[in-house]
Amino acid sequence: MKKWIQKAIVQKTISYLPFSRSINYLFQKHITKGVHLTDAYFYDRLAHATAHLNAYHKYTGNAVPQSSLEIGTGWYPIVPVAFFLAGVQQIYSVDIALLTSKERLETTLLKFETGYKQGQLQPYLSTILPERYAALTALLKSRHHLTLTNMLQQLHITYLIEDARKLSLSGNSVDLVNSNNTFEHIYPQILVPVLQEFKRVVKKPGGVMSHFIDMSDHFAHFDQSVNIYNFLRFSDAQWKWIDNSIQPQSRCRIYDYRQMYAQTGLPLTEENCNQGAPALLQTIPLHSKYAQHPPQEVAISHCHFVSDMSKAAEDGRG
């Protein structure tokens, strides 16, 4: 049995259990080794943080946002900490469950400290404020006497454990809304109202939205015997039996996300896409749901969407 099938079965089973997210964390930590903070993952997220800040600066002229909101931060709050170092004053992270812990936050901070000392951090994050880095190192020294809540407060990070479709934030209150390979885990019937809520809370004019989307089959990240388009061979009914609620994969393609942006009236100011691997796509017997679309669009595997919300205001949709 292929590894990805084994993982799918285990995660499907775990999804029906109490405390499923905690159990899944232990499964990935000790079995698949999928939750360790590797250098590759850390610096990939740093590159995302830089791209978010660059997009904000490009469309507002401001060096950094005063406030930011991220959805789906995950186990390690890399982007929020990067934003803290850059000088963001209020950093929000929204998720349906608190996935980080004091131990994982410490791991994240130590990774920043090590990267800074080795000179590896600066090429990714050139906007580090000396006083913020000093605050981070001081926090690390005193961490044994602090709670997770205390540490997050000193980092200007607030976790919102709530439904992203009904945020507790006021309208027109956030300068930058961002995400990092999260949208692909949200099905359209939920993502559309989430986008509508993001549109409500982001500042108009003066706000920016910046979202990275990974449209590859995430099982292929774990099992090299299948390629990044493997999940496109299945019908929706078949995929429903394979997919799970712990780490769902919507299988949406680039044209689906464009449609959702159009549906919610969000401007798609920039669309920077990775064309994927069309040759690999040809090796998959695509389900008719995908085969009816242009192969070059189905093949797109990653994309970065940027929305200049001053355009939304100008169009009368803000």
CATH number of domain containing 91:
3.40.50.150
Reported as a pLDDT band with limits 50, 70 and 90, residue 18 is confident
Q: Is the pLDDT of residue 116 over 70?
A: yes
Q: Is the pLDDT of residue 30 over 70?
A: no
Tell me which of 271 and 127 has the higher pLDDT: 271
State pLDDT tens for residues 171-190.
999 999 999 999 999 999 99
Determine, yes or no, domain membership for 58.
Answer: yes
Domain count, the chain: 1
* 273-285 mean pLDDT: 95
Reported as a pLDDT band with limits 50, 70 and 90, residue 317 is very low
Determine, yes or no, domain membership for 7.
Answer: no
Reported as a pLDDT band with limits 50, 70 and 90, residue 309 is very high
Determine, yes or no, domain membership for 209.
Answer: yes
* 92 beta partners: 69, 158
Determine, yes or no, domain membership for 160.
Answer: yes
Q: Is the pLDDT of residue 28 over 90?
A: no
Determine, yes or no, domain membership for 272.
Answer: yes
Reported as a pLDDT band with limits 50, 70 and 90, residue 25 is low
**Where is average pLDDT lowest: 17-21, 122-126, 263-267?**
17-21
Determine, yes or no, domain membership for 65.
Answer: yes
**Where is average pLDDT lowest: 4-18, 94-108, 169-183, 215-229?**
4-18
Give residue 191's domain range.
Answer: 37-215+252-314
Question: What pTM, to 2 d.p., does this model score?
Answer: 0.93
Determine, yes or no, domain membership for 236.
Answer: no
What are 61's two structure tokens? 């002229």
Backbone angles phi, psi at 210, to 5 degrees: -140, 115
Q: Is the pLDDT of residue 248 over 70?
A: yes
